[in-house]
Amino acid sequence: MTKKKYLRGLFFNAVLALSLISLVLFLVLGRFWTQQNSRILQHEILQKQQMVAARLASVVQLYVNHIAEHITVFTDLHTDFGGHAFLNQQDLNYLRQKSPAISYLVLLNPAGQTLFSVGKPTATGRVEKLLPNLKNSCLEHRLSYTGQPYVAASGDWFLPLAFPVYRYQRDTKPSGILFAEVDLSGLRKMLAQTYPLDMEAFLVNAKQEVIFYNGAPEGFVSPKQKKLSEQVKTWQEQLAGRAAAEVVLSDGDKWLVSVASVILPGWKVYVAQPVSPFISADMRRSYGDIISIVLLMLLFVVGVSYWVIVPITRPLERLRTVALRLREGDYIIRPGDVDIPPNEIGELAEVLMETSVSLHQRQEDLLSAQHELAKANKMLEKRVEERSRELSAATNELVKAERLAAIGQMASIISHEIRNPLAVISNAARLIKLLIKTPDLKITKQLGIIEAEIKQANGIISEVLGYARSRDLILNVVEVSSYVRDIIVSYPLPAGIQLKEQLSTFTAHIKIDTEEMKQAIQNLITNAVEAMQGQGTLTIGTQAGRSAVCIYVADTGPGIEEEFRRKIFTPFFTTKARGTGLGLAVVGKAVSRHQGKLFISSRPGKGTCFQIYLKIYRKPGDTRYGTTREDFGRG
C-alpha cells in the first residue's frame, strides 16, 4: 500500500478522530457518567420488582383458581350422571377429602337453609351474614362468588367461595348454593417458595389489610399490626395509579415500590426495597452542567463527523442498501449500484459484487435441488402412508379372521363331539331312574350330579356357540326402562339377593336387536350374582341424557382388581374356578355391534358397576332429547 493511500485510509483517519474524541469525553463526561449509572440502576431495580410482583400475583391467582376449578368440575359431574338426584353428605365429605385446603363446606337450598355440611366454620353466623351476597351472585346472576378474606380466632386467614349448584345440566335455575371456606395456609407456603430474598413482599386485600408479608413469622400478618397497613396505604397514595415509582415515607425514608393487581376483588401485591445510599447521592445533578456538556458534544461531534464519518457513511449506506436487496431476493450487484472509493470500503464493495454473483448461482442450484428433494419426499411420504394403512388394515383383518376361525372351529368340534355324547349320557341317566324300582338315596344323588354336570356342560357349549355365531342384527325400537324391566322379571334371582330397581321415569327409545342385547344384560346380571356368592344387593337401573341412555348393573361383591379390568372382556379370560370366560366377551361384542360404549367402575371390597351407553333413537321432528350432538357419557 502506497504512502498516499495509507494516509487516506480508514485506519489512519479513525485513529486520529477517536483519539481526539476520547480525550474530550474523558474530561467532560465523567460526572455525567456517574449520574447516568445511578438512574439506570434504579430503573433496573424497578423493572426487577415489577417482574417479582407479577410472579407473586400469578401465584395467588393460580392457587384460588385451582380450588375454584376443582369445586366447579365436581359440581358439574354431579348433574345428570352423579348416581343420585342431588349432592349429599357423602359428596361433601369426598370433596373436602380431595381438597385439604377447604376447611368448611356447606350446601344451602335456595332459601338459604343448610342441607348438608362438613368441617367446622371459622365463626358462628358468618354464612348468614354473607347470605344476601351469595343469593345475589349465585341464584340471581348464576355466577360464582369470591368474598374478602378474614381472620379466624386462630390467626389464620380464610377466603369465602360460593358456587351455584344445578340438579341437571339442562336446568336454567340453580337448585342450591355450595359455600366453602378456604384456608390460605397453603397459599402462604406457595408464596414462601416464590418470595424474593432481597426485597419485601406484601399481599393486600381490598381493605388495604396486609394478609401475607415475607418479613413476618411464617408469613402471616395479624390485623392488629396497623403499622404495615398504614405503610402500604402511604405507598398507594404516592404511586397514584403507577405500577412502579420511588416513594417517601413520613420518617423520610425513600423506597422503591412496585405493585401488581390480582384478578380478585381489590387484591394487590406490593414489592419494595429501600433506596441505596449511593443511588440517592447519584440522583443529584446539575442542569447547567448537562446543557453545557450536550452543547459541547454536539459541536465537537458535528465537526469530526464532517471530516471523518460522512465520507465513510455515504458509501456504507449504499452498501447497506444493496446488501438488504441481496438478502431479500435474487439480486446481482452492478458497479453503478455502489461507490468504489480508493480505500478499504472500495475493496469491500468489489468483494460484495463478486459474492453476489456467486450467491446467485448457488441459490439457483439450491432451489433446484430443494424442488427435486421436496417432490421425492412427498412421493415417499405418500407411499409410506399408503403402505402403513394397508399393512395396518391387513393385520387387523388377519388377526380378526384367525381368531374367529379358531373360535368357529372349536365351537363346531364341541358341538359335534361333546353335545351328542352328553345327550346319550343324559338319556341313560333318565332311563336308569325309570328302571330303579326301589329309590336309593346315593344313586339318586349321583344321578342328580350327572344331570347337573350335563346341564353345566351344555351351558358352556351354548356360550361358545353363541359367541362364535355371527348373524345380522334384527333391530327393533323399544322403550328402554320397560325393556329392562321385562328382563328383570324374567330372570330368576337367588333367595339371598336383594334387587334394587332404579329405572328412569323419563321416556327414551332405543333401536336394538332385543334378543342379543337381552343376552348381554342377562350375562351382566349372572356375573353380578356369582360375584356376590348368593348374598348382597343387586342394583339395576337406567338413566336418560340428551343424546344417550345408560343401562347399569351394580353389585356389592368384592370388586375387580385393577390388573384384571382390561382383560375381563377378552374371550376365554376368567378368574373363576369354573367357566369359559365368554360371558363378558358376549357383552362387549353386543355393545360394539350396536355402536355403543361400555364402562366399568369398581372398588375392591365395595362392588362393581357395569354401564352400557346407547344412542337415543329419535324420529324426524322429535326434539325431546335435545338438538345438539353429544359424546357418550363418562364411566
> Which residue, of 226, 245, 278, is where some domain finishes?
278
In a domain, 541, yes or no: yes
Residues 506, 586, single domain; the answer is yes
Per-residue exposure over 565-580, b if at least 16 CB sit within 10 Å of its own CB, e if not: eeebbebeebeeeebb
Q: Highest-confidence range of 64-78, 463-477, 597-611, by mean pLDDT?
A: 597-611
513 within 8 A of 594, measured Cβ to Cβ: yes
Q: How many structural domains comprise the chain?
A: 3
In a domain, 126, yes or no: yes
Higher pLDDT, 343 or 610: 610
Which residue type is seen at 146? T
Are residues 435 and 500 located together in one domain of the fold?
A: no
- Per-residue pLDDT, averaged over 247-265, amounts to 80
| Lowest-confidence pick of 362-366, 464-468, 506-510, 550-554 | 464-468
The CA-CA-CA angle for residues 167, 172, 173, to 5°, reads: 70
Q: Which of 22, 27, 9 lies closest to 301 in space, CA to CA?
A: 22
> Which residues sit opposite 145 in a β-bridge?
162
pLDDT of 101: 86
pLDDT at 411 over 50: yes
CA neighbor of 275 nearest in space, from 47, 41, 52, 53: 41
pLDDT, tens only, 44-97: 888 887 888 888 888 888 888 888 888 888 887 776 655 566 788 888 888 888
- Taking alpha carbons only, the member of 222, 226, 273, 202 closest to residue 60 is 202
Q: pLDDT grade, residue 526 (50/70/90)?
A: confident
| Gap between the Cα atoms of 103 and 121, Å rounded | 8
Direct distance between the N- and C-terminal alpha carbons of the chain, in angstroms, rounded to an integer = 88
DSSP string, 116-176: EEEE--SSTTHHHHHHHHHIIIIIIS---EE---EE-TTS-EEEEEEEEE-SSTT-SS--E
Would you say residue 296 lies in a domain? no
| Residue 569 belongs to domain with CATH number | 3.30.565.10
- CA-based nearest residue to 569, from 582, 581, 585, 552: 585
588 or 222: whose pLDDT is higher? 588
Q: Are 462 and 563 within one domain?
A: no
Length of the chain: 635
The alpha carbons of the chain give a radius of gyration, in whole angstroms, of 42
Whether residues 103 and 53 fall in one domain: yes
Q: Are both 447 and 587 inside the same structural domain?
A: no
Looking at the structure, tell me whether residues 441 and 511 fall in a common domain: no
Closest to 228 in 3D by CA, of 243, 212, 244: 212
Does residue 575 sit within a domain? yes
Q: Is the pLDDT reported for residue 517 higher than 80? A: yes
Q: Which helix (H) or strand (E) holds 264?
A: none
CA 247, CA 97: separation in Å to the nearest integer? 46
- Between 239 and 331, where is the model more confident? 239
Shared domain for 441 and 557, answered yes or no, is no
pLDDT in tens, 359-399: 777 777 888 888 888 888 888 888 888 888 888 877 876 77
Higher pLDDT, residue 73 or 542: 542
d(CA 536, CA 529): 8
Amino acid at 36: Q
Same domain, 450 and 587: no
pLDDT interval class at 565 (50, 70, 90): low
Given the DSSP bridges, would you call strands 597-603 and 607-615 parallel, antiparallel or unpaired?
antiparallel
Tell me the torsion sign for CA atoms 588, 590, 592, 597: negative
Average pLDDT over residues 38-46: 75
Q: How far is CA 391 from CA 40, 380, 397, 402, 404, in A?
A: 66, 16, 10, 16, 20
pLDDT of residue 574: 58
How far is the C-alpha of 285 from the C-alpha of 128, rounded, in Å?
Answer: 61
Structural domain includes residue 342:
no
Instruction: Supply the CATH number for residue 219's domain.
Output: 3.30.450.20
State how far the Cα of 118 lies from the Cα of 97, in Å rounded to an integer.
10
Whole-number pLDDT of residue 69: 87
Q: Which of 243 and 339 is assigned the larger pLDDT?
A: 243
CA distance 58 to 358: 54
pLDDT score of 6 more than 50: no
pLDDT classification of 285: cutoffs 50, 70, 90: very low
604 part of a folded domain: yes
The pLDDT of 540-554, averaged and rounded, is 91
| 285 in a structural domain | no
Domain check: are 452 and 479 in the same one?
A: no
Could you tell me the residue range of the domain that residue 455 belongs to?
418-467
Of 278, 307, 329, the residue that ends a domain is 278
CA 32 vs. chain centroid, Å, equals: 54
Q: How confident is the model at residue 542 (pLDDT cuts 50, 70, 90)?
A: very high
Which of 217, 244, 278 terminates a domain? The answer is: 278
Q: Are 231 and 241 in contact (CB under 8 A)?
A: no
Considering the chain, what percentage of its residues have pLDDT values greater than 70? 68
Q: What is the pLDDT of residues 150-195, one digit of tens each?
A: 888 777 788 899 999 888 777 788 889 999 999 888 877 787 777 7
Q: What is the pLDDT of residues 116-125, one digit of tens each?
A: 999 888 888 8
Residue with more model confidence, 245 or 350: 245
Amino acid (one-letter) located at 398: L
205 close to 211: Cβ distance less than 8 angstroms: yes
Q: Cell for 112? A: 338459604
Domain match, 103 and 149 both = yes
* Residue 520 resides in a domain: yes
Bridge partners of 245, per DSSP, are 257
Task: Name the residue among 255, 287, 299 with its Cα closest to residue 49.
Answer: 255
Task: Answer yes or no: is pLDDT of 102 > 60.
Answer: yes
> Which one, of 13, 30, 31, 20, lies nearest residue 300 by Cα?
20
Confidence of residue 633 (pLDDT cuts 50, 70, 90): very low
When pLDDT is averaged across residues 513-539 and rounded to a whole number, the result is 86
CA distance 325 to 308: 27
Instruction: Mark whether 426 and 488 lie in a shared domain.
Output: no
Strands 536-544 and 548-555: antiparallel
Q: How many Cα neighbours within 13 Å face the side chain of 173? A: 2
Checking if the pLDDT of 528 tops 70, the result is: yes
Q: Is it the case that residue 583 has pLDDT exceeding 60? A: yes
Q: What angle do CA 292, 296, 298 make, to 5 degrees?
A: 120
Distances (CA, A) of 186 to 156, 182, 624: 11, 9, 47
Reference 64, options 2, 168, 145; nearest CA is 145
Q: What is the pLDDT averaged over residues 258-263?
A: 82
Note whether 89 and 178 are same-domain residues: yes
* pTM of the predicted protein model: 0.41
Q: How confident is the model at residue 555, as a pLDDT?
A: 92
217: three-class secondary structure by DSSP:
helix
3-state SS, residue 309: helix
